[in-house]
Amino acid sequence: MVYYLLICRSLTYAQRSAKALEHAGITAIVSRVPTILSSSGCGYGVKLSAKHISNALIVLKNAELHPLKIYVQYADGNFNEVNL
Amino acid sequence: MIYLDSAATTLKKPASVARAVAWAVNNLSSPGRGGHAAAMAAAEEAYACRCAAARLFKMRNPENVVITCSATHALNIAIKTLARRGDRVIISGYEHNSVTRPLHGIGAHVVVAGSELFEPEMALHAFERRLTDDTKLVVCNHVSNVFGYIQPIERIAEACRARGVPFIVDASQSAGVCEIDFERIGADFICMPGHKGLYGPQGTGLLLCARVPKTLLQGGTGSQSALVEMPEMLPDRAEAGTHNMPGIAGLRAGIEFVEKKRVQKIMAHEHSLVDFAAGELVKRDGVRVFVSEYGYCQSGVLSFCVDKMDCEIVGEELARRNIAVRAGLHCAPLAHKTAGTFETGTVRVSLSVFNTKGHIRAFLDALDEILKKR
């Protein structure tokens, strides 16, 4: 399964983002960011299914919540940064 | 014991607070310190507490709710963010040592906007007259911890904004008792304890931020760990070290209790008891009561003095009769100087939502016994 990981500036920001997505009916899980993706260490993000990414980005934009970076996580566990 | 010392801390808490504390002790680890269930549950709880506070104080962004150890901790962060040595800082005549001591410690040039008790118009005028172009900060408590005097903070905030002067509100006695609309007040910081009118456990406080504060403590935050500097973003910047999760869970339960009870109803209840107590006290010979002629500017706190009796003796005699009040200067010598009670101190009765008219009657009966023995 393919997931998207939206990296947030803080744990609380990730929680706000997840709540906004949940409020819009999109399941989102707050999770820690793998070390290789976290330039300053110990980061948090929001993980969601690939099928929700378009709606999720609209919801977050409307809520004025801006992820720092967006990665796609493939079934083999590898990540690729997504440039929007 | 009949507890009438809620301005120090509310002793009787809602049952939900004790339950939340016990649950947190057994189930929550530390937010931001791991992705396992106990750490994530702690993160959820801390976030829920921030959201509850943001709802109660009408804040848009729960990230701007910083959880502290106490109101004193919050005030130290706020004051040390905005004032430096030599800065002209205006304070009201009713400030607590949690404001005056940090300002003294910094070496600020403190100007007291003194005005008479229960005269909000005069208080506003006192601030306006002292607001000069070189004023760097104004700090004002919302409610005096000694007299229950409600100061006109919204209008003082407006005066500060007109001059471009930062403003800090000490809401130690008003949080959970008076309506506080963070966005409408427009203060830079609002500081409060969690263990008084919000009914949380001791060791909790809140700093509501309209700007990013300087760091008072540096240390681990569970975020941006590779950096030697503290993170810039809130709340992490102001929350170094392991969180007091039992306290936070209890505080959330306390805030939710207040939300459910409704602040206006709590104020009305406490105010009706103060009215009753004051009305009875003034009938006693030799008792001087500090009460507002206009009810709207006094909360559930009432001070009084007894002629020819040391206030500490009155407090001690009441304690012997199982009535808990507080006597002395209440860590607010400035308030006593302003009101003219510095030499004598006062006896303070302070209420919570759990007090009843029966408690006030028992207090009055005990006081009558003491007065007879004079």
Tokens 């760097």, residue located: B136
Per-residue pLDDT band for A83 (boundaries 50, 70, 90) equals confident
Q: How many CB pairs lie under 8 A apart between chains A and B?
A: 54
State ipTM.
Answer: 0.87
Whether B235 and A12 lie within 8 Å, measured CB to CB: yes
Residue of A10, A12, A42 lying closest to B225 (CB–CB): A42
Q: Specify the amino acid at residue B267.
A: M
CATH class of B15-261: alpha beta
Model confidence pTM above 0.80: yes
The hierarchical CATH code for the domain A3-78 is 3.30.70.120
DSSP alpha helix (H) spans, chain B = 15-27, 37-56, 71-82, 97-106, 120-130, 153-163, 182-185, 245-261, 263-281, 311-320, 333-339, 357-373
Chain A partners within 8 Å of B222 (Cβ): 11, 42
Question: In angstroms, rounded to a whole number, what is the distance separating the alpha carbons of residues B335 and B285?
Answer: 25
Nearest-CA residue of chain B relative to A11? B32
Return the DSSP state at B216: S
Return the DSSP state at B175: B
Interface of A with B in 13-42 (CB under 8 A): 13, 15-16, 30-32, 38-42
Question: In angstroms, rounded to a whole number, what is the distance separating the alpha carbons of residues B66 and B176?
Answer: 17
CATH class of B2-10+262-373: alpha beta
> Does residue B252 contact residue B246 with C-beta atoms inside 8 Å?
no
Chain B partners within 8 Å of A40 (Cβ): 224-227
Give me the residue spans of the domains in chain A: 3-78
Q: How far is A38 from chain B (nearest CA, A)?
A: 8
Whether B227 and A32 lie within 8 Å, measured CB to CB: no
Whether B224 and A31 lie within 8 Å, measured CB to CB: no
Give me the residue spans of the domains in chain B: 2-10+262-373, 15-261
Residue B303, pLDDT score: 98
Per-residue pLDDT band for B277 (boundaries 50, 70, 90) equals very high
**Within 13 Å and on the Cβ side, how many CA atoms surround A41?**
13
B63-102 pLDDT, tens digit per residue, is: 999 999 999 999 999 999 999 999 999 999 999 999 999 9
Starting at the earlier edge strand, list the strands of the sheet with B189-193.
Answer: B65-68, B205-209, B189-193, B167-170, B135-141, B88-92, B109-113
Question: In angstroms, rounded to a whole number, what is the distance separating the alpha carbons of residues B345 and B251?
Answer: 32
A44-70 pLDDT, tens digit per residue, is: 999 999 999 999 999 999 999 999 999
